[in-house]
Amino acid sequence: MTGPQRIGVVGCGQMGAGIAEVCARAGLDVLVADADSSGVERGRERIRASLSRAVAADRLDAASADLATARLGFTTDLTDFADRDLVVEAVAEHADLKTDIFARLDKIVERSDALLATNTSSIPVMRLAMATSRPEQVIGIHFFNPVPVLRLVELVPSMLTSRQTRERAERFAVESLGKQAITAGDRAGFVVNALLIPYLLSAIRMMESGFADAADIDTGMQLGCAHPMGPLRLADLVGLDTVQAAAEAMYEEFRETQYSPPPLLRRMVEGGLLGRKTGQGFYTY
């Protein structure tokens, strides 16, 4: 059975642009939506810059980059997704926003067998599925940043996701995109973030307490534990707003202190110090 060929991506930020790029590079017809024309242009530039970096690093040839660009379309109108086989939601990590998008997609996407997927890193898939009339066709397909480089995808079925939806989502991730897929239970944080977020929060608390500075914490984990990147630089890469949102979602579900965002993280997010994407977080970029 052929996997989805017409892909919709809702959101053209860091994750949405990455998902759109890998789908286009895989030969799929990709339509990307963002809230306004400025968001679309920023997303288009993100993808162009990423493809250029791949060509410069000899990970992609120029002809393939041109073909991928030609497969990408952009819109500010979700109703353009009516003909999509698979739509991946990749907007900011806010439950109300995501729920509203799923309710709208349910009314827009016309194909009776279309998959509706979320790239959420922490919000339970069941909550989003119940905003639709077809919860059996809703699944989490959680990519990792940067999407064109990192091979892992978490597949997160809810209790209502059908076996056919699971199988089609796995074929899409593995056969179409060449990713390595793991299956996670539908609980906040899934596999990776349930382990990663407490680690990042612990590093932030260590810095906040004055026990060690950011550079020493990161160097300690890189050289002492052979991590490719220290936790505070990784938090900057992920985005401190995303780290906070994931922590809050897990704390809401489990009520365990290890998931509670520390005050330093909250103040930085309030001040717009979000990491690499704003040029300032625990480090200056």
Catalytically annotated residue among 50, 89, 119, 121: 121
Q: Is 167 a catalytic residue?
A: no
Q: Is 142 a catalytic residue?
A: yes
34 is in an annotated binding site: yes
Predicted pLDDT at 122? 81
Predicted pLDDT at 239? 93
Going from N- to C-terminal start, the domains of the chain cover 6-183, 193-278
93 is in an annotated binding site: yes
The order of strands in the sheet holding 6-10 is 72-75, 29-33, 6-10, 86-89, 115-118, 138-143, 152-157, 180-183
Write out residues in the chain with pLDDT < 70, as ranges. Answer: 1-2
Q: What is the pTM of this model?
A: 0.89
241 is in an annotated binding site: no
Determine how β-strand 152-157 pairs with β-strand 138-143: antiparallel
Predicted pLDDT at 3? 80
Give CA angle at 136 (133, 137), nearest 5°: 85
Predicted pLDDT at 194? 93
Predicted pLDDT at 20? 98
Domain 6-183 superfamily per CATH: NAD(P)-binding Rossmann-like Domain (3.40.50.720)
Catalytically annotated residue among 154, 158, 170, 248: 154
12 is in an annotated binding site: yes
Q: Is 227 a catalytic residue?
A: no
Structure tokens at 256: 């365990």
Predicted pLDDT at 233? 98
d(Cα 54, Cα 116) in Å, to the nearest integer?
A: 29
244 is in an annotated binding site: no
Q: Which CATH number does the domain 193-278 belong to among 3.20.20.70, 1.50.10.10, 1.10.1040.10, 3.40.50.150?
A: 1.10.1040.10
Catalytically annotated residue among 89, 142, 170, 248: 142
CA distances from 3 to 30, 69, 238, 273 (A): 14, 21, 30, 40
**What are the tens digits of pLDDT across the range 111-132?**
999 999 999 988 899 999 999 9
Q: Is 119 a catalytic residue?
A: no
d(Cα 75, Cα 73) in Å, to the nearest integer?
A: 7
Catalytically annotated residue among 50, 119, 158, 193: 193
